[in-house]
Every structure is written in C-alpha cells, then in structure tokens.
Structure 1
Amino acid sequence: MASRINVSLDPEYSEKLSQLAARMHVQEGTLAKSLLSTALDGADPDAAHIVRLLDGIPGAYERAQEGIEQARRGEGVSLDDLA
C-alpha cells in the first residue's frame, strides 16, 4: 500500500529540485520520490546512525522544540483529525 507524505523544502533545495527535474524532463514530484526512495534504501537503520543524521539537520532540534510548544498551546492537529 502506498502512502502519501508532504515534504517542505527550503527555497534553495526547492530551486535545485526544480532545475534538476527540468534538465531531466520529469515532474518535480517524480524526481523527489525517486531521490527520497534512493536515500531511504541506503539509510542505515542503526539508532546511533539515525541520531547522527538528525543532529546534522540544521535547526532540526529547535523546530522540534517549537512543535512541542505549539502542541502544548493547543495549536496542533489531533491525529484523529488527520485520518
């Protein structure tokens, strides 16, 4: 069963994806799916590796903390509402 997810890219990555897709004559979503699938296939599921990967994402910790605070303030969406 296929699942759909939405991914937001920073402007510079969005532009890079657009340029690559145009050069390859494919839709951006098709290219993004292929790139993400390839990255996931090569990802090491070891917990220590995942922590290093997450730590390497600029601002990830701060964004996670912001999300927690938003949820505490009731600004989130209930998981039941997503189904």
Structure 2
Amino acid sequence: MAQYVLPELDYDYAALEPAIAGEINELHHSKHHATYVKGANDTIEKIAEAREKGDFSSIVGLETTLAFHLAGHSLHLVWWKILSPNG
C-alpha cells in the first residue's frame, strides 16, 4: 500500500525570517508535521492488520485516528504552500 510522505519544502527553513524563525519552521516541519505522516502510515498498517484478523470492532476507532492524522497532514501541506518568502 502507498505511504504518505513528508514533503520537502520549496524554501529553506530560515527563508521566512524574521516573521517566523528558522528553528520554529524546522521543528514544525521535521517533528510536528512528520508525526502526522508517521501516525497516518502506522494507522493504515493497523487497519490492514485488523482487517486480516477479522477484528472489525477496532476499525472504527482506527479510522477516527487515521482521519485525525490525515487532517493534520493535509492542513500542513496547505500551510507550507501558503507560506512564502516572497509574501
């Protein structure tokens, strides 16, 4: 199954200074956004395992978790595109 990936940014972390510190962008991208991506991929794997085992009762909760992580990932994809060193 395809995996979600953390995108490379179109600009350097420091490109938005002084409005947003490079360290903040790095933390937000490499830790915060990356956690949503990992969470989505891990949850997809857990859903597949639950289906294989016939554990359908746990899938509803896992789908909620997946929705949370995918929403965070999607919103960050938009966030990084909206931000621009060129204003």
Q: TM-score w.r.t. structure 2 length?
A: 0.26
Richer in helix (by share)? 2
Q: TM-score w.r.t. structure 1 length?
A: 0.26
